Structure 1
Amino acid sequence: MFKTVLFDVDGVMLSEERYFDASALTVHELLTSDRFLGVQTVSPPFTPAPDDDTIRAIRRDVFRRDEVLEGLKNIGVNANWDMVYFVFVAELVRALEVANSRSSDVVAQAQAVLDAGWTEASLRALGEIVRSVVPEYVVQWDGYGALYEGASSRSELMERARTALARYAPNADAHALWQVGQETFQEWYLGDAYTGKATGKAGFLTSEYPIVDPAAFAALLADLKAAGVTLGIATGRPEIETRVPLTHFGWLSFFDPARVTNASDVVAAEEQAPHARPLSKPHPFSYLRSLRGERDVAKLLQVELPIPGLRGEVLIVGDSIADKLAADRLGASFAAVLTGLEGQAARPKFERLGAEYILNDVLELRRVLALTPVD
């Protein structure tokens, strides 16, 4: 029996579908809304209150029928904020390059605009440049493949994005553009009721889908605790997006708050130790933080990895390659659940990666760990 079991959330406990929807809507807004770039796309026009058919159409276009999502997940990109950044940068750069092919002044104009950094205002100004030079420009959603073809890691994607942006913004911090995407994503996912803004966005926080029966999963957690197993969470969700649905389904009370690490914790750690960025998965920081119940970032970053003797004591349960890579670097065992984006089609990938366990869903942990239900 493992002494500690650490869970991912999306693709394990909760469906990722609404997260992917919000990611697509964010990229679409950054490109098409007058608040940002304000260019046309082949997709439906921007609205802060799209119906389900419009959401499906936008996601189909932005992520190329989810091929882009699968490609990102397959090279270890797990955070939706990163997904937004990579796709938006590709389409932004494509628009600027088309404009530059029409006018030799575009690079100089863009550099002048971006000398003050990446902001909503600077994106609006870039949109004005593109529209003035190429008024007929329409985003075809083919920029991602053009910029990132052959990239095999998150770090390589980051480097290609940085290099492409540097032509137009040599003095601007690209992380500020990442933050614009992050903040816009939060508007979509949380909605006005939680952000306190007046964007007209309802949010997805109250329409989460559990992957397995909530009562059955709660019973599994109760039985693990009764067997003396320490439970933890490491998720790419921010704090509120973790707390609200897990509380609603009756799961959060099974976890010691010190052993729950979310994206808000990771961002705070990166602010304390910017030299260590990125600390999001596949970096094992979030799992290590939950394993140790330790909040001192400096202490955690000093831990030598992989930790000897951990494989027989700690089990990480996740749905993505990023989770498996984090488990390997930490030195823990890994149970892959086939309830993520690719479903059963992900099995061969986890077999090649050497996952110790491959489960149809998280409830199969009961069989793997030979748990006896508590009366």
Structure 2
Amino acid sequence: MGKTILFDVDGVLLSEHRYFDASALTVWELIHSENYLGLQSDRFHTNVTESEVGELRAEVFQDDEVLYLIKSKGINANWDMVYLTFSFQLIRLLSKLSEANESYVKKVLQEKTLNRETLQEIGGELYKAGIEPDYKTFVPVMKEAEAMRVELLTHLNHIAYEMTGIETMAFTRNSQLWELGRETFQEWYVGEGLTEKSIGRPAYQKGKEGFVHIETPLATMEELDELFTKLKEEGYTLGIGTGRPALETVEPLEKLGILSYFDRNRMATASDVLEAEHRYGDKAPLAKPNPFTYMFAWLERSSIEEALEYTFTEEEKDSVVIVGDSLADGLAAQSLGCHFVAVLTGLSGQKARQEFEQNNQHNIIDNIKDLYEAL
């Protein structure tokens, strides 16, 4: 049986910091732009400088403590990070509003659909009440949550009840609010020029340049060429299992000159996850740590249904290696029963070593260039 290596992209091949920048800008826009809540709307603009991006990310994600916490809970997809962070802020704002207008907040949480129009309406009520956002509140509350992985998304309903005393099921993975966050994130990441190609409609908010054209590889091109050439000569088939959509996976790898090393039939992306969730909504969410992405890649993207149901034989488990930088990647590998190599070039850097070891993942390398010796 052939040997297959499936690579995550962010934090393994390419720096993930631009994705985190776009995530922070998305939450910032949803809170401050008049297209959404519109709080302190004079703060919002799209022509952000590099220094502004750094300052906004430090504010929204509290010097990345929010990101560290979310990743430690097994959440890896940036769209889910946006949803969790913004939804929590929305719940906190509604809890403050309920002190003055409980009947309205109850209507929002139990009757209304959380979409663009509802957010604008809520923003108007918050403005009249003089309520402002507070990014410092996420970590103290969410670190107490026992929920892990996908359960954290619906745990928001419990937090809403604790903060407002109002029972709700408004916060779900299959919601207009989650989709709104996804589309707004895509606008920031790919930029206005590629938005329609990315999400099927023109950018709602004009003027975003995007980050997709300024990717940073985590090893030199010479080091990557040497690694991939060796692996191919050893008989390995190389694939991808990433939380990026297809556009943001193919274009940067092609621009860097390394796309040709990968079997295009074994490149599964967030675009495949979205399609699978659309067709099999009862199985959602399917993003990592759910192993669907990696299984779909291994099966050469042949069948969504088969990827949802297939179980590796013992021989197959031994023939597959997943290379990732996050707990979510490791959990996916554990679910499949295959090999896992952890790379310490993700958000937490060397600090991630302890987290991997605590989860019984001991094959750890400092950089992707060291992979050959770890196999």
For the criterion TM > 0.5, the same-fold answer is yes
Q: How does 1:1-375 map to 2 (within 5 A)?
A: 3-40=3-40, 45-108=43-106, 110=108, 115=112, 117-132=113-128, 134-135=129-130, 137-145=131-139, 147-152=141-146, 153-164=148-159, 167=166, 175-195=175-195, 196-197=202-203, 199-304=206-311, 307-369=313-375
8 A Cα contact 1:280 1:286, kept in partner = yes
Q: For residues 232-272 of structure 1, give each alpha carbon's deviation from its aligned partner in whole angstroms, at most 9, with x where no partner exists.
A: 10000011110110101111111121100000001101111
SS at 1:142 equivalent:
helix
Task: Assess, with a 3 A threshold, how the Cα gap between structure 1 residues 110 and 245 changes in structure 2: closer, same or farther.
Answer: same
Separation (CA, whole Å) in 2 of partners of 1:53 and 1:237: 25
SS at 1:240 equivalent:
helix
8 A Cα contact 1:307 1:330, kept in partner = no
Task: Assess, with a 3 A threshold, how the Cα gap between structure 1 residues 288 and 172 changes in structure 2: closer, same or farther.
Answer: closer
The structural deviation recorded for 1:148 is: 2.2
8 A Cα contact 2:157 2:167, kept in partner = no
Alignment TM-score, normalising by the size of structure 1 = 0.91
Q: For residues 328-360 of structure 1, give each alpha carbon's deviation from its aligned partner in whole angstroms, at most 9, with x where no partner exists.
A: 101111111110011111112222222241101
Does 175-184 or 149-158 show the bigger shift? 149-158
Task: Assess, with a 3 A threshold, how the Cα gap between structure 1 residues 146 and 354 changes in structure 2: closer, same or farther.
Answer: closer
Q: For residues 40-92 of structure 1, give each alpha carbon's deviation from its aligned partner in whole angstroms, at most 9, with x where no partner exists.
A: 39xx9211111111111111111111111011111110000000000101111
The structural deviation recorded for 1:164 is: 4.7
Separation (CA, whole Å) in 2 of partners of 1:94 and 1:368: 46
SS at 2:315 equivalent:
coil
SS at 1:309 equivalent:
helix
Separation (CA, whole Å) in 2 of partners of 1:151 and 1:247: 41
Q: Which amino acid aligns with 1:5?
A: I
Separation (CA, whole Å) in 1 of partners of 2:96 and 2:362: 48
Q: Which runs of 5+ in 1 are unaligned?
A: 370-375
8 A Cα contact 2:6 2:239, kept in partner = yes
Q: Which residue of 1 aligns with 2:199?
A: none
SS at 2:38 equivalent:
coil
Q: Which residue of 2 aligns with 1:373?
A: none
SS at 1:90 equivalent:
helix
Does 2-11 or 81-90 show the bigger shift? 2-11
Separation (CA, whole Å) in 1 of partners of 2:264 and 2:114: 35
Task: Assess, with a 3 A threshold, how the Cα gap between structure 1 residues 247 and 155 changes in structure 2: closer, same or farther.
Answer: same
Q: Which amino acid aligns with 1:123?
A: L
8 A Cα contact 1:6 1:317, kept in partner = yes
SS at 2:314 equivalent:
coil
8 A Cα contact 2:273 2:286, kept in partner = yes
Separation (CA, whole Å) in 2 of partners of 1:295 and 1:279: 17
Q: For residues 110-165 of structure 1, give each alpha carbon's deviation from its aligned partner in whole angstroms, at most 9, with x where no partner exists.
A: 359x63x2221111011111112x22x22121342355232241233212213456
Runs of 4+ in 1 over 3 A off after TM superposition: 162-174
The structural deviation recorded for 1:109 is: 5.1
SS at 2:13 equivalent:
coil
Separation (CA, whole Å) in 2 of partners of 1:108 and 1:355: 45
Alignment TM-score, normalising by the size of structure 2 = 0.91
Name the Cα RMSD after superposition: 2.2
Task: Assess, with a 3 A threshold, how the Cα gap between structure 1 residues 45 and 336 changes in structure 2: closer, same or farther.
Answer: same
SS at 1:207 equivalent:
coil
Q: Which amino acid aligns with 1:23?
A: S
SS at 2:289 equivalent:
coil
Separation (CA, whole Å) in 2 of partners of 1:170 and 1:359: 42
8 A Cα contact 1:310 1:331, kept in partner = no
Does 185-194 or 156-165 show the bigger shift? 156-165
Task: Assess, with a 3 A threshold, how the Cα gap between structure 1 residues 342 and 171 changes in structure 2: closer, same or farther.
Answer: closer
Separation (CA, whole Å) in 2 of partners of 1:45 and 1:168: 33
SS at 1:139 equivalent:
coil
Separation (CA, whole Å) in 1 of partners of 2:323 and 2:171: 39
The structural deviation recorded for 1:99 is: 1.0
Separation (CA, whole Å) in 1 of partners of 2:85 and 2:151: 14
Separation (CA, whole Å) in 1 of partners of 2:83 and 2:171: 15
8 A Cα contact 1:333 1:356, kept in partner = no
Separation (CA, whole Å) in 2 of partners of 1:251 and 1:8: 14
